[in-house]
Structure 1
């Protein structure tokens, strides 16, 4: 895929891959893993990568990785042990959705309509949204997942509430008035893609191959 908006763009701030179903596949995962491994080698870093049992996370050739050690989380415990699920992903989505709201309101004020968002805009906004996720938020989510014994059960939730209340409500109300839609909450907008399928289930032959590996 070569989107028109990528024309004359020499480099992106993120790794970008695409396929017809917009799924994360094992080949995409492996390619990404080796790219960041090379990056960490250049930076002389050693990294521990925790991964869940997503079908797109196959057993890669660990011996080919130089800077990264991959550790699999126990099956069916992702919701409890995966720090990303303790608030990091939610924090990122809040930051990203807020940027989308601001972009749409600006387009409306400038009489540009509400259809001007393209893939390149989304990539830049997503990159900025990630930089807005603070190191404290990430550390607190690791603590909440019991990587460190401390009482931080509600810290990640409090941080999200602060972001949600930081001017977003009025902007969301303004956008709803423009769209003539008042039944959707900002929380609904944040979680609109939660149930979207982003990975295919492995076939029986693939499962057997993994068991033999």
Structure 2
């Protein structure tokens, strides 16, 4: 509720192995799937049990609030050791759920802005606008969640929902959503959106275009049966926009991996770009440092493996 710790996003798609994921081994989010891309009790149970193990390993006790719906079964509490699962009363989500007080909307604003920016860049460069696949969506979501949904807005939304003694004493009728996009940003995006979309709609309408999309439901017998088949590896029939990899494609998922030298060179170029600007936030430098450290560690492991191999070959030669 302080915004100081954010979990990885859970993204639910329709295919077990989407073709756009070919060769990808790390997404930066947790990924699950089912035929309708809905949250189900099976997915929720798997996710929260995994999270409970993480907190158990860290020796932490956590109070966890969730919506009251069939996708969040109450019997899952029997499987949890370190998470105390609490449910909001029915029909109170819009008032009590902090995510609904501005966190989701904030994330959608930045996500839609990122999409528009990418489209406008392609148009300005004279390229045809590419369709956004699931992999690009995942990358954008992960980036926005980690870089743009600030601790302040998370803390404010918890306060607005009443998770604070101060909030109980001071109503948040005039709550200042300081981390939402600025008026000038919205005006610029409104103009850009109309230029690209060629329709009379506000940026706010664009952000909320999927508000009515259903994300969970009481499963029918067929839904339950299909989810069991999916868990056992029997593929569901995906929609045209999200295909599973075929057996042959799965066998050829290894893409050409850039070398460590190429990766280090790219990081060096990015660092030069960042250091030659005066408006770069400190977290950009922190991210660069983390990447450089990771690449250096990988290079060191490669050196050690090479030396060990050479030593073994030399030892055998001497024998």
| 8 Å CA contact retained: 2:62, 2:84 | yes
For the 8 Å contact 2:193–2:203, the answer to whether it is kept is no
Residue 144 of structure 1 aligns with which residue? 160
Q: For residues 88 and 156 of structure 1, do their structure 2 counterparts lie closer, same or farther at Cα, with a shift above 3 Å needed?
A: farther
For 1:106-185, list aligned pairs within 5 A: 106-131=121-146, 132-150=148-166, 151=170, 152-155=172-175, 157-160=177-180, 163-181=181-199, 183-185=200-202
RMSD value, Cα: 2.0
| Whole-Å separation in 2 of the counterparts to 1:156 and 1:87 | 11
TM-score of the pair, normalised by structure 1:
0.85
1:77 correspondence with 2:95 = no
* TM-score of the aligned structures, taking structure 2 as reference length: 0.59
SS in 1 for 2:64: strand
CA offsets, 1:9-32, max 9 Å, x none?
111111111112111111111111
| Residue-pair matches, total | 201
- Check whether the contact 1:87–1:156 (CA below 8 A) recurs between aligned residues: no
Equivalent residue number for residue 217 of structure 2? 200
In structure 1, the partner of 2:42 is: 27
Q: Is the 8 A contact 1:86 1:156 kept in 2?
A: no
Q: Which ranges in structure 1 are unaligned for 5 or more consecutive residues?
A: 205-213
Aligned equivalents of 2:184 and 2:49: distance in 1? 38
Which range moved further: 37-46 or 83-92?
37-46
Q: Deviations over 1:143-166 (max 9, x none)?
A: 111121333443353433xx1425
1:146-193, Cα deviation, whole Å (9 max, x unpaired): 121333443353433xx1425243134123213322x11100011101
Contact map agreement 2:153 2:177 (CA 8 A) in 1: no
What is the match of residue 210 of structure 1?
Answer: none
Q: What runs of 5+ residues in structure 2 fail to find an aligned partner?
A: 1-14, 222-319
Three-state SS of the structure 1 residue aligned to 2:32 is: coil
What SS does structure 2 have at the residue aligned with 1:74?
A: coil
| 1:113 CA drift (Å) | 2.1
Q: Give the SS at the match of 1:57.
A: coil
Aligned equivalent of 2:71: 56
User: Which one of the candidate residues 206, 225, 236 is aligned to 1:189?
Assistant: 206
